[in-house]
Structure formats: structure tokens, C-alpha cells
Chain A
């Protein structure tokens, strides 16, 4: 009994739910999820500005939608982990997130044109556009952390420790996503190029998780 030493949590690969995946790799995936959330939110300001300006209410709309979506995502991620938790399902969260970013990438302007057409007030315009563009992907991204808790926790006495570590890694990812995007990425790349990189990363994360969860080892 008692708490497992930290290195066991980080490096043990014998958790029944984890298959070929090490906890370290799982933390990396959670980090990528946290990074993506804030990178997309920062880009959201840039995406909305040509239609709704860059005033404080545009950021208000964005942050409201992201917070709302994350709260729902945490709830749904926890619920989803109740039945047959597996790496395959965990990986599917990344794949769904990636797919949910696609409308933003492929039809963002079209959707904002529509909102702009029908909503005159840029406050409600930006709120509605944020809802249309960012709500679903952010819910999916928000499901990742609680689901990861379920995969990593074996004993309830570890649960707080593991949850704390996951929050830590996910939020560090968010901090870095915010910093890198606003300081450097927008200086060198177009918004859509950054979004493509995020989608690619999420797809890779999803495939890694699904691959590691297969009964047969992926790499012999």
C-alpha cells in the first residue's frame, strides 16, 4: 500500500489499460491537447478580427465559448471514461478533435460571412461565430484530460496525484501554446498553416494512442 514512487507512474508500462503506451507518452499526448486548445483560441482572435474587430468583446466571446466548451468537455470526458476505457477510445478523442477543427479551416470565412449577414451587432456576431467555429473542437479537446486520468489511475490513493500531474502537463501545454503562437508562430506562418499543423499533430496523437492500444504490438 501507499503511494507509488513518481518514477513508477512515469515509466511503468505495465498498467493494464495502457498496452504498449508508457505514461510518459500519455503525458505527451495530453500536453499536445493542452497546447492545441490555447493555440486555437489565440488564432481565434485573429480569425474573428476581420469580421468582428479585435475589441474586448471579441475576446470576451472567445473566452466564454472556450470556457463553456471546456467545462462541458471535462464533464463528457469523465462520463465517456466510465464504459470500457481504452487507449483506442482515448485516441479517438484526438481524431474527433482534429476533424472538428476542419470546418474552421475549410469553411471559416463562409460561416463567418453567414453570421455577419444575419447578426448586426458585433458582440453577438462574435459570440455566435465563436460558437459555430470553436465550440465542438474545444469540447472534444476538453475530454482528453479527464479520460487520461481514468487510464492512468490504478489505485484511488494515487488519483489526486495523477490528476494533479495531468492538470500540470495539460496546462503547461496551454501556456506554451499561448506563448509560442502569439510570440512566434504568427510572425512566420499564416493562420491556416498553423491550424494545419495543429490538425496534423492531433491526428498523429490519435494514431499513436490507437496504435498503442491494439492487442498486437504495433512495432515488433
Chain B
């Protein structure tokens, strides 16, 4: 009996520090789960695997960016320190949209998310709030950009955050898609993409970005995602980047975003130069992702 009591106590302790599932939902596109552990609340697209965290927030301190890739998404401020109109392809928990709104109160944000369930979850669990300048479009990102180019829309900051660990929308990784994004950028506009850092896909994807934008910042930490920062017409000189860093550094400190450190993550062109460029005609991104380098 004593032993049983001890075991029950152990199990209870285990439960107390284990993560709690706040919400699960089967949407049209994926399984969605909202889980929380030690004040960290995460949106997950695959219930079984821990690594597929899409967005995490610190429920005790909203200025604390939990996932290491999030600060890197603001690396584009080195090229354009005062964006007025942002296009966000892939909403996730809405963290990035929220920070932009806090950094630049007058900013206009168009957020495109294919999954209406993700938008709901962002509102209900991740503090994504409607504000005057933010519009959410529930549709495919590529359909949005194609329509936007027809309407001659312009953005000075485009964020591609549409790839989760399980399935890549292949039509949002091609040269033609990036050319549409390039067309949507203002002359001083910047594109920031959260992409992959391993497998044959890394080489092909890098070659594709290079074929459209020329030189870009290739930001990689030792593990995890790779962030591409590309200007509409290539990269400005280094001292220009430094001037911009000084201009916004103070505002970013609140979120512990250190642009100087982010710039130091640039690995240059370290991919295989002969990698095949992805096009609308040739876009086996998911197959390449499974193939080793």
C-alpha cells in the first residue's frame, strides 16, 4: 500500500510539471494543438512531435520571444528601418504581426493565412488582436501575391513564414513566386523568409533566392531554421546596414532583438553553386527535403 501511494505521488508530480494541452483541433490542413508548460505556450501542428512548434509565447512576459527564429525575422530592418506596409504570408500565432504593430504604431499589415483555424487560435490563445491597420486574409499565399501584383500593390517589408515542418507549399518556393514578391516590393523594400537549413532543399532553395535577388543575407544559427533577408535590388553596403542598426536598436532592445548579432549570423553563399533552381515547372520541394545533401 505504501508503495502504491508513493507511485501515485510520483505520477502526480510528473503531471504537475508536464505540459498541459489547452486546445486541440483538426483543421482542414493539419492537426492543431495549443500546449503550455512553465509559462510557455506553443502552437503545434503535429501533436506527436515536439519539434514542430510554430509559435510560442511567454504568458508571463509578452516581450520575451521564445523561439530563436523570431528575432531574426526582424533582420529586414537593417535594410529598411521604417517599414510602412507589411505583407505577412503565414500568420502562425500572430507574434510577428504583434511586434510590428508595437514597434511601428502607424504600420499597415496585411496578414495572409490559409487556415482559418490558425487565425482563430491566434486570437483565442496567442493574444493576436485586431487593430485598425491590420487586415487578415484567409487564403493561399500565392493566390494573394498573384492578385496583389495584378492590382499593383506595394509593400516595403514582405515576410514569408509559411513553411511548417511537415509539408511545404511547393508553389511558394519557386522562382516565379519570388519574382512576384520582388515585384510587390517598393524600391527600398525587403523580403524576409523563414526557410530550411538542411537537405538538398537548402541548396536548391538558396540557388532560387540567388537567381531572383542576387546577394542576400543568409542567416543561420548552428541548428534550426535559416532566415533569408533579401533587398529588392540586392544588398546595400555594410555601412548602410550599420546605420540602420543604430537607428532602430533602442526600440528593439525591449524585445531583446540584437540586430548586430543577427547580422553576424550571415554565412554568405555556402550552398552548392550548381544546385537546381526551383521553378513552377520544377518544384519537388517536399521530395528534396527528404533527400540528404
Contact = CB atoms under 8 A, between A and B. Distances in A.
Interface in A178-202: 183, 186-187, 189-193
Interface string B134-171: 00000111110011001000000000000000000111
B166 to A, nearest CB: 14
B107 interface: no
B114 A191 contact: no
A123 to B, nearest CB: 11
B284 interface: yes
Contacts of A122: 139-140, 143
Contact of B280 (A50, A52, A116, A117): A50
A54 B176 contact: no
Interface of A: 46, 49-56, 116-117, 120, 122, 183, 186-187, 189-193
A50 B284 contact: no
B143 A52 contact: yes
Q: Which applies to chain A's interface (DSSP): helix, strand, loop or mixed?
A: helix
A47 to B, nearest CB: 8
A50 B144 CA distance: 10
A54 B281 contact: no
Given A49-B142, A50-B142, A122-B140, A186 B284 contact: yes
B194 interface: no
Interface in B34-92: none
Interface centre among B143, B177, B281 (most CB of A within 10 A): B143
B143 A51 contact: yes
B28 interface: yes
Contacts of B283: 46, 186
24 contacts: A46-B171, A49-B142, A49-B169, A49-B170, A49-B280, A50-B146, A50-B176, A50-B177, A50-B280, A51-B146, A53-B114, A53-B140, A53-B141, A54-B169, A55-B28, A55-B29, A116-B150, A122-B143, A186-B282, A186-B284, A187-B288, A189-B282, A190-B279, A192-B281
B140 A187 contact: no
B171 A187 contact: no
Contact of A52 (B28, B140, B169, B177): B140
B140 A55 contact: yes
Interface in B227-281: 279-281
B174 interface: yes
Contacts of B13: none
A195 to B, nearest CB: 10
Contacts of A191: 280-282
Contacts, number: 61
A153 B25 CA distance: 54
A190 B282 contact: yes
A116 B146 contact: yes
A50 B174 contact: yes
A55 B114 contact: yes
A53 B171 CA distance: 7
A120 B177 CA distance: 19
Nearest to A186: B284
Contacts of B177: 50
Nearest to A126: B143
Contacts of B150: 116-117
Contacts of B279: 190
A30 to B, nearest CB: 29
A50 B176 CA distance: 9
A54 B280 CA distance: 13
B208 to A, nearest CB: 14
Interface centre among B140, B169, B279, B283 (most CB of A within 10 A): B140
Closest 3 CB pairs of A and B: A53-B140, A49-B171, A190-B281
A135 to B, nearest CB: 22
B282 A54 contact: no
A186 B146 CA distance: 24
A27 B282 CA distance: 32
A189 B29 CA distance: 28
Nearest to A48: B171
A54 B171 contact: yes
A46 B170 CA distance: 9
B287 interface: yes
Contacts of B281: 190-193
Contacts of B142: 49-50, 53
Contacts of B171: 46, 49-50, 53-54
A53 B287 contact: no
Given A46-B283, A186-B287, A190-B282, A54 B170 contact: yes
